[in-house]
Chain A
Amino acid sequence: MNGIITNAETTTMQFHVLAVDDSVIDRKLIERLLKTSSYQVTVVDSGVKALEYLGLVDDEIANTNTDSNPISTIKNHHEVEVNLIITDYCMPGINGYDLLRKIKESTTLKNIPVVIMSSENIPSRINNCLEQGAEEFFLKPVKQSDVNKLKPHLMRGKGKENQPNFVVNKRKPMAECLSPDRIRTKYNYI
Chain B
Amino acid sequence: MATVGQLQKQFVDFSTSLYREFIQLQKLQDESNPDFVFEVVSLFFEDSEKLLNNLAIALQQQVVDFKQVDAHVHQFKGSSSSIGAHRVKNMCVAFRNFCEEKNLDGCLRCLQQINHEYCLVKNKLENVFRLERQILEAGGTIPLIA
A26 and B24 form a contact (CB under 8 A)? no
Contacts of A92 in B (CB 8 A): 71
Taking a contact as CB atoms under 8 Å apart, the answer to whether A141 and B47 are in contact is no
Contact A28:B81 (CB < 8 A) given known A33-B28, A144-B27: no
A25 touches B28 (CB 8 A): no
In the bound complex, residues from chain B placing their C-beta under 8 Å from that of A140 are: 78, 81-82
**B interface SS class:** helix
Is the C-beta of B135 less than 8 angstroms from some C-beta in chain A?
Answer: no
Q: In the complex, what distance in Å separates the CA atom of A115 from the CA atom of B46?
A: 29
The distance in angstroms between the C-alpha atoms of A51 and B71, with both chains bound, is: 24
Nearest Cβ distance between residue A120 and chain B, in whole angstroms?
9
Residue A24 lies at the interface, judged by CB distance under 8 Å to chain B: yes
Complex interface residues of chain B between 72 and 129 (CB less than 8 A to chain A)? 74-75, 77-79, 81-83
Number of A-B contacts (CB under 8 A): 46
* Cα–Cα distance between A40 and B69 once the two chains are bound (Å): 36
Known: A33-B28, A141-B24, A143-B24. A26 touches B78 (CB 8 A): yes
Q: Which listed residue, B33, B36, B71, B81, touches A119 by the CB 8 Å rule? A: B81
A25 B83 Cβ-Cβ under 8 A: yes
Dominant SS among interface residues on chain A = helix
* Interface residue total, chain B, C-beta cutoff 8 A: 21
Whether A23 contacts B78 in the complex (CB less than 8 A), given A28-B39, A28-B40, A32-B33, comes out as: yes
B83 proximity list for chain A (CB < 8 A): 25
Q: Give chain B residues whose Cβ lies under 8 Å from the Cβ of A28.
A: 39-40, 43
| Given the contacts A32-B33, A141-B82, A25 and B47 also touching, CB distance less than 8 Å | yes
In the assembled complex, B44 has its CB within 8 A of some CB on chain A: yes
B82 with A25: CB separation less than 8 A: yes
- Please encode chain B, from 24 to 60, with 1 for each CB lying within 8 Å of some chain A CB and 0 for all others: 1101100001001001100110010000000000000
Contact check: which of A25, A36, A143, A144 meets B40 at CB < 8 Å?
A25
Known A32-B28, A141-B21; judge A24-B78 contact (CB<8 A).
no
**B21: which A residues are within 8 A, CB to CB?**
141
Flag A87-131 by CB within 8 Å of B: 1 or 0 each.
000101000000000000000000000000001000000000000
In order of increasing CB-CB distance, the 6 nearest A-B pairs are A141-B82, A25-B79, A119-B78, A32-B28, A25-B43, A141-B21
